[in-house]
């Protein structure tokens, strides 16, 4: 999930772990069937997604064009299944070792693309604050290409 933000930060154990100005807050959920190809697809999509306004007020500029930053937060709860009962099931979420590796791969890929990437700590209890710009929130599922 991508949220266009004018600023965002993450606090862990009462200490700021990462902060950005204008850019993307990524909430990253990894499914058990996700692979490196999914990470590569998401890297391209995130790098080139044109959701910043140009001089005419149209969403036409990418993160790179506005010199934006990224705050990346792992969030397995994005894969909650709420079809049965009132307690969500997280059976689709990847096991922690796999999820952490793919999450770190995505962050490194984005850094390799030249972006400043701040992040939380995988599996930690995090407090995320943001100012959603627009608001603009986009859900990208690597399985729906």
Catalytic machinery residues: 75-77
Q: Is the torsion defined by CA of 9, 72, 117, 98 positive or negative?
A: positive
103: exposed, middle or buried (Cβ count in 10 Å: 0-12, 13-18, 19+):
buried
Q: Which residue, among 58, 64, 38, has the nearest Cα to 136 in the 3D structure?
A: 58
47: exposed, middle or buried (Cβ count in 10 Å: 0-12, 13-18, 19+):
middle
For residues 115 and 63, the answer to whether their CB atoms sit within 8 Å is: yes
For residues 49 and 2, the answer to whether their CB atoms sit within 8 Å is: yes
Q: Which residue, among 139, 142, 136, has the nearest Cα to 22 in the 3D structure?
A: 136
């Amino acid at each position: 999930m991508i949220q266009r933000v004018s600023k965002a930060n993450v606090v862990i154990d009462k200490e700021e772990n990462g902060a950005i100005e204008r850019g993307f807050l990524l909430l990253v959920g990894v499914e058990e069937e996700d692979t490196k190809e999914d990470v590569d697809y998401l890297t391209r999509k995130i790098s080139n997604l044109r959701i910043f306004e140009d001089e005419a007020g149209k969403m036409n500029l990418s993160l790179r064009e506005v010199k934006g930053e990224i705050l990346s937060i792992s969030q397995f709860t994005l894969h909650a299944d709420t079809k049965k009962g009132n307690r969500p099931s997280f059976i689709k979420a990847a096991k922690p070792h796999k999820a952490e590796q793919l999450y770190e791969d995505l962050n490194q890929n984005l850094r390799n693309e030249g972006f400043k990437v701040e992040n939380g700590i995988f599996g930690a209890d995090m407090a995320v604050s943001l100012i959603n710009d627009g608001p603009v929130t986009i859900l990208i599922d690597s399985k729906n290409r």
